[in-house]
């Protein structure tokens, strides 16, 4: 297996983008990434696309072929592979694209992630997101993602003394970061009080503890590392990749406050990269709800299990803290077009490691981590990147 580098990234603005269709979004992100990388279309060997549920959100399956077509590659008859792992679809697409280059099968691949979630009515977005849960044992009986994460939060509060204020601080931090990100859905700082006083989505999670429903796309270009310098002076190498699964339903797990899929995917990635959690300079983690960021920093080994709430309170994960987390604003403030999220996380880490993150730039960032979770943790994908 040879080394693989990221030579270009492109993201669209995330938000309620009434004037942009599914295909507009992915073409825009793709074009930006291709321009950023300096490659020509002819050099592309394959496309990988992450999308959770284009079939339900916009009535379109055959997503790989669609993306090849609307990106102008149909005359090349290029192979295009759509992968799905609920909200971890983007991370999984990066991982599959990574392996296709690492194995020598492809030299240059484009990996896109996209979701158009706002063209639905009533509870359809919530219902479609709940297809990432166990349909027969959870969703059918009315469980939704906010409800499932609320149970996890309640148990975490019970077991470890985590408080609603600590949860709120995740949202406050991520909104502060999002305010510095031109592509973020929410570009406004919020206060602890506004989070605590927001209407409940599902106790103890209020509206401002939840990531929004979003449209958006992100793309990264992968290339054999030995050729990366031909295209860019600032390539970023993928030094670790991990993926793991867990029971689909929460009730099958030993401990609902630990995502074993994250623990296993992270260990796989750390081992691959030959580093430890302490070596990570900056991380994008899957904060679909505030409690999810607390689980993530514990399960990724940044802090001990149970200490996540206290870690947030002590500000170690802020932009100028010792372990900045979700510098982009995270899913919470940047927005969460589910299939795009995992790719956008990688794009943010690349921007940080290239020193291109402007007002949200972390100082001396050399190694970064991206952590993408499917629904309530039945799948996780972790990547570790390094500036070369």
Contacts with a second copy, residue ranges (CB under 8 A): 1, 21, 23, 52-53, 55-56, 58-66, 68-70, 73-74, 77-86, 92, 96, 99-100, 102-105, 128, 131-136, 139-140, 243-249, 252, 260-261, 264, 374-375, 378-379
Find, among 194, 178, 188, 195, the residue nearest to 289 by Cα.
195
Indicate the residue among 330 and 339 with the shorter CB distance to a second copy: 339
How many angstroms separate the first and last alpha carbons of the chain? 18
Handedness of CA 332, 335, 338, 344 (dihedral sign): negative
Q: What's the closest the beta carbon of residue 58 comes to a second copy, in angstroms?
A: 7
Strands 379-387 and 236-245 turn out to be: antiparallel
Residue 87 annotated among the catalytic residues of the structure: yes
Indicate the residue among 70 and 120 with the shorter CB distance to a second copy: 70
HSE value, Cβ hemisphere, 13 Å, CA-based, for 268? 17
Phi, psi of 85 (to 5 degrees): -150, 55
* Torsion angle of C-alpha atoms 193, 199, 202, 208, degrees rounded to 10: -50
DSSP label at residue 321: S
Q: Are 96 and 90 in contact (CB under 8 A)?
A: no
DSSP notation for 291-309: HHHHHHHHHTTSS-TT-HH
Indicate the residue among 357 and 378 with the shorter CB distance to a second copy: 378
Indicate the residue among 354 and 383 with the shorter CB distance to a second copy: 383
Q: Which of 87, 210, 223, 288 is catalytic?
A: 87
Q: What's the closest the beta carbon of residue 184 comes to a second copy, in angstroms?
A: 26
HSE value, Cβ hemisphere, 13 Å, CA-based, for 72? 10
Name the token pair of 167: 């949860």
Indicate the residue among 133 and 303 with the shorter CB distance to a second copy: 133
Q: What's the closest the beta carbon of residue 262 comes to a second copy, in angstroms?
A: 10
Q: What's the closest the beta carbon of residue 133 comes to a second copy, in angstroms?
A: 8
Q: What's the closest the beta carbon of residue 221 comes to a second copy, in angstroms?
A: 18
Q: For residues 194 and 71, give the distance between their C-alpha atoms in angstroms, rounded to a whole number.
A: 42
Name the token pair of 153: 């939060």
Name the token pair of 24: 């507009």
Q: Which of 264, 336, 371, 383 is catalytic?
A: 336
Q: What's the closest the beta carbon of residue 18 comes to a second copy, in angstroms?
A: 16
Indicate the residue among 80 and 144 with the shorter CB distance to a second copy: 80
DSSP label at residue 70: H
Name the token pair of 8: 């270009």
Residue 336 annotated among the catalytic residues of the structure: yes
Q: For residues 203 and 206, give the distance between their C-alpha atoms in angstroms, rounded to a whole number.
A: 7
Catalytic positions are 87, 336
């Amino acid at each position: 297996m040879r080394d693989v580098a990221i030579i270009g990234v492109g993201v669209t603005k995330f938000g309620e983008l009434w004037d942009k269709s599914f295909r507009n979004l992915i073409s825009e992100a793709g074009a930006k990434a291709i321009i950023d990388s300096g490659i020509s279309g002819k050099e592309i060997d394959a496309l990988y696309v992450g999308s959770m549920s284009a079939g339900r959100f916009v009535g379109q399956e055959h997503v790989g072929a669609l993306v090849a077509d609307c990106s102008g590659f149909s005359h090349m008859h290029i192979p295009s592979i759509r992968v799905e792992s609920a909200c971890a679809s983007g991370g999984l697409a990066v991982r599959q694209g990574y392996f296709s280059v690492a194995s020598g099968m492809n030299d240059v691949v484009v990996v896109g992630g996209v979701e158009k979630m706002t063209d639905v009515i009533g509870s359809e977005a919530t219902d479609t997101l709940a297809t990432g849960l166990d349909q027969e044992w959870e969703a059918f009986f009315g469980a939704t993602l906010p409800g499932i994460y609320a149970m996890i939060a309640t148990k975490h509060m019970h077991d470890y003394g985590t408080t609603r204020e600590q949860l709120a601080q995740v949202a406050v931090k991520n909104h502060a970061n999002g305010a510095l990100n031109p592509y973020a859905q929410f570009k406004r700082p919020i206060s602890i009080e506004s989070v605590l006083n927001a209407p409940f989505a599902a106790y103890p999670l209020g509206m401002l503890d939840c990531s929004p429903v979003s449209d958006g796309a992100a793309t990264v270009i992968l290339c054999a590392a030995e050729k990366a310098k031909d295209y860019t002076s600032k390539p970023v190498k993928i030094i670790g990749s991990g993926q793991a699964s867990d029971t689909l339903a929460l009730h099958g797990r030993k401990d609902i406050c630990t995502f074993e899929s994250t623990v296993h995917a992270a260990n796989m990635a750390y081992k691959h990269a030959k580093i430890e959690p302490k070596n990570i300079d900056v991380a994008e983690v899957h904060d679909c709800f505030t409690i999810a960021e607390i689980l993530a920093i514990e399960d990724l080994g940044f802090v001990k299990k149970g200490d996540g709430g206290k870690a947030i309170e002590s500000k170690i994960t802020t932009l100028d803290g010792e372990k900045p987390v979700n510098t982009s604003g995270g899913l919470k403030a940047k927005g969460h077009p589910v299939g795009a999220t995992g790719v956008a996380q990688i794009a943010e880490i690349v921007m940080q490691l290239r020193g291109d993150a402007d007002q949200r730039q972390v100082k001396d960032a050399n190694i970064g981590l991206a952590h993408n979770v499917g629904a309530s943790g039945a799948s996780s994908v972790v990547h570790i990147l390094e500036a070369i």
